[in-house]
Amino acid sequence: MKTTLQIEVKKTDHSRIHETDFDNLVFGKVISDHMFVADYVNGEWTDLRIEPYAPLSLNPANATLHYGQSIFEGMKAYKNDNGEILLFRADANQKRLNESAARMCIPELPEEIFMEGLLQLLDLDRNWIPNKPGYSLYIRPFIFATDDYIGVKPSEKYKFMIFTCPVGHYYSKPVAVKVEQHYTRAVEGGTGAAKAAGNYAASLYPALLAQRQGYEQLLWTDGKTHQFIEESGTMNVMFIINNTLITAPTHTGTILKGITRDSVLKIARDWGMQVEERFLSVEELEKAIQQNTLQEAFGTGTAATIAQIYKINIYGTDYGLPSKPADSFSYRVLETLDNIKYGREEDSRGWIIKV
């Protein structure tokens, strides 16, 4: 790979890879040896470097700690049978990071810094992706304010960082979800479309209340009427009713534009499936369950790719969803996406970058 950017590389002299138990990886707990860092000062991104993963030293007046001017991304890299690293749709993550940045008054990060930093980091830590089926490397790029000033205004300094976590075979357990009627994740004009740290902080409490009642996730509804289904907070959600795939549209700015969502919709359309990007009302969903026309319900996101929904609580009533035949759309689309990600199927859509 040709490098135009100056990235200083400081390698660790104590790799942790041999102390790592790859058979018992807990998502997000094990971090690979190195991290990529760039600083924004005096109006430009400078001091690009890869260094050993280590704690940061921060001034207590750091603007992120007080006002949450912070955004992130999440994506994955996989290894094919030849040991090559395959990166899935990283260009889409790069673009989305800058869309989040614009909303949060964070300066845009040039594409080449994101891509070069990422590719060099992956190359250096390539042994952290075990050559075993089902394993992958979760990649966490993020930008946060670093001004040491507690006045409320956009920070003048930022850090962009990337670190990675090996993740084991991800069996995504089917989830029980609850339709949220009171709390709100996003409203029109708010920050719901940005992958902003604060969106997560605000959703922890309602999610905790639902978890105490036995539901893994919430089905967020629109902030004004709570009558239309939006998404699940870490996943977009899709329903198949009468052979039509229905998912919430993104034009209201209240839905995170999931890259898995986009990939599933593209494949569905390629397969000739009827797709509707529109708001589905809770009432319509309940009717479809009662009339047996709801065929599938699932979440889409980078961590699980597809998470089956087996139970939905609607305004206090639990509806168990029947288990699906093996040729259901959600199983087939998961298999196709996995085949593309691990290089077992031709990448006709240009989604894979080889490292």
Residues near ligand PLP (CB under 6 A): 74, 195, 231, 233-236, 256, 258-261, 300-302
Dihedral (CA of 119, 124, 130, 131) sign:
positive
- To ligand PLP, the closest distance from the beta carbon of 93 in angstroms equals 7
- To ligand PLP, the closest distance from the beta carbon of 97 in angstroms equals 11
Structure tokens at 340: 């593309």
Within 10 angstroms of residue 217's Cβ, the number of other Cβ atoms is 22
> Which residue number, 34 or 195, has a Cβ lying nearer to ligand PLP?
195
- To ligand PLP, the closest distance from the beta carbon of 337 in angstroms equals 11
- To ligand PLP, the closest distance from the beta carbon of 6 in angstroms equals 30
Task: Write the burial class of residue 212 (CB in 10 Å: 0-12 exposed, 13-18 middle, 19+ buried).
Answer: exposed
SS3 139: strand
Of 14, 244, 27, nearest in space to 135 by CA: 27
User: What φ, ψ does residue 349 adopt, rounded to 5°?
Assistant: -100, 0
> Which residue number, 109 or 289, has a Cβ lying nearer to ligand PLP?
109
Q: CA 306, 208, 318 angle in degrees (round to 5)?
A: 65
> Which residue number, 51 or 91, has a Cβ lying nearer to ligand PLP?
91
Question: Contact 199/74 with Cβ under 8 angstroms?
Answer: no
> Which residue number, 130 or 299, has a Cβ lying nearer to ligand PLP?
299
> Which residue number, 52 or 198, has a Cβ lying nearer to ligand PLP?
198
β-strand partners of 178: 218, 313
- To ligand PLP, the closest distance from the beta carbon of 231 in angstroms equals 5
> Which residue number, 178 or 261, has a Cβ lying nearer to ligand PLP?
261
- To ligand PLP, the closest distance from the beta carbon of 341 in angstroms equals 13
